[in-house]
Amino acid sequence: MVSVKRAVARVLYGSRFDRVPWGQRVYIRPGERHARELQWRLRLGRAPVMSLDEYRARVPLGEIEEFITCHLCEETRQQPLFQPAERKPGGKKVWTYHVVRCPSCGFLYRNPNVRPERLGDLYAGNYSGFLTGDYAKDRQRRYQLTMDSFDPVFAEGNKRRLFDFGCGAGLFLQLAEQRGFDACGVDLSPDSVALANERLTSATAYFGAPEQVPKIAAGGFEVITLWSVLAHLPRPLDDFTRFRGLLGPGGVLLIFTVNARSLLLKAQGAKWSGFTKNHLMFYSADTLPTLLRRTGFAGVAFEPFYGDTVEAGTAELSGRQSRRLHRAVSGSDGGNMMRALAFADDEAIFRWGAGREVHRFV
């Protein structure tokens, strides 16, 4: 099926896009952006909107799951959109879930969702084993590119206090300590925390929740980072209220997550790379401000994401293709990943917002 699509695309567009990475082609091929936007509007127009009771009657509920309503605006109606799944070569499902859209605010979320007290079940297996070698190198390059995009926030640590929530095997904490931050982190996976502490010298990783670690619960952080964590949170309002409380005056919160407004989602539907096994909620520049405003932040700024290989300079794009890509991404959805810097207060906007388009909430 995929090869048929590729063959058709080859006939339509010729070979001049062969070197453009897959994730970027949708932005560059003539006319494709508008066709995908139209396809998305048709999909939304066709998908029924139903009450929570009607929805419950249609969709099975797993043992660790619960039905939820929109956490951002409290709308109870449901618009079922996708059923992502991973299948074995024989076709048997390894996992699957249902993704709905809030008909009021457009938020995309998994419903049924995972009950917070069962979240540990998702991370029970040893998933830190592969966080080494090339994976670690690619990940750290990705962190560096995102830190650079918010320059000068991460340029020099100067012993500023940084808290990495969901620190995994400490790949980011390692960069943070190298840059001179006074850094610490927490994670739900004990294996990852052990690996992190082997890797780190001055920074420390802890197992558990922030309030269980006195050094973290004391707050007063200048920077909090959420690397690929936001989509995993089943109670985002509670978590963000806590993060806001942990930030000192002038503090900022960095968010890196999949972008639910991505053109790739519109093109790939249920097969989109953002619909991974453990993702629960899918944010965009349309919906993230609601979460931040409701939890006491003063504003937010976004930076577009052009793709890891494009930003690292290893993708082979012609000058024209590169200009088209930059224009299309920054002028439309912001790319397949979302990069956001949330400001705790006016002082944070004053310190770190210069030269950026800051979306203020008051």
286 vs 316, which CB is nearer to Zn ion?
286
Tokens of 16: 């001049």
76 vs 278, which CB is nearer to Zn ion?
76
Distance CA 97, CA 109 (A): 10
Please name the residues in contact with 356: beta carbons below 8 A apart, sequence gap of 6 or more: 301, 341
Tokens of 239: 């978590």
**Please, what is the minimum distance in Å from the beta carbon of residue 51 to Zn ion?**
15
Are 185 and 196 in contact, with CB atoms under 8 Å apart? Answer: yes
104 vs 241, which CB is nearer to Zn ion?
104
Distance CA 110, CA 87 (A): 19
Distances (CA, A) of 13 to 26, 152, 211, 262, 267: 11, 40, 54, 22, 16
**Please, what is the minimum distance in Å from the beta carbon of residue 302 to Zn ion?**
20
DSSP H or E stretch at residue 215: helix 214-217
Cα-based angle 241, 276, 238 (whole degrees, multiple of 5) = 10
**Please, what is the minimum distance in Å from the beta carbon of residue 282 to Zn ion?**
12
Please name the residues in contact with 34: beta carbons below 8 A apart, sequence gap of 6 or more: none
Q: Parallel, antiparallel, or unpaired for β 85-87 and 93-96? A: antiparallel
**Please, what is the minimum distance in Å from the beta carbon of residue 77 to Zn ion?**
9
102 vs 131, which CB is nearer to Zn ion?
102
**CA 283 to chain CA mean position, Å:** 7
**Please, what is the minimum distance in Å from the beta carbon of residue 287 to Zn ion?**
8
79 vs 228, which CB is nearer to Zn ion?
79
Half-sphere exposure of 28 (CA within 13 A, CB side): 25
DSSP state of 104: T
**Please, what is the minimum distance in Å from the beta carbon of residue 40 to Zn ion?**
18
75 vs 148, which CB is nearer to Zn ion?
75
Distance CA 27, CA 148 (A): 23
**Which SS3 state, helix, strand or coil, does residue 194 take?**
helix
**Please, what is the minimum distance in Å from the beta carbon of residue 66 to Zn ion?**
17
**Please, what is the minimum distance in Å from the beta carbon of residue 271 to Zn ion?**
25
Residues that bind Zn ion (CB under 5 A): 70, 72-73, 75, 102, 104-105, 107
**Please, what is the minimum distance in Å from the beta carbon of residue 229 to Zn ion?**
21
75 vs 347, which CB is nearer to Zn ion?
75
Locus of tokens 């990705």: 142
74 vs 211, which CB is nearer to Zn ion?
74
Q: List the strands of the sheet with 281-282, edge to edge.
A: 79-82, 99-101, 108-110, 281-282
- Cis peptide preceding 152, ω within 30 of 0: yes
49 vs 105, which CB is nearer to Zn ion?
105
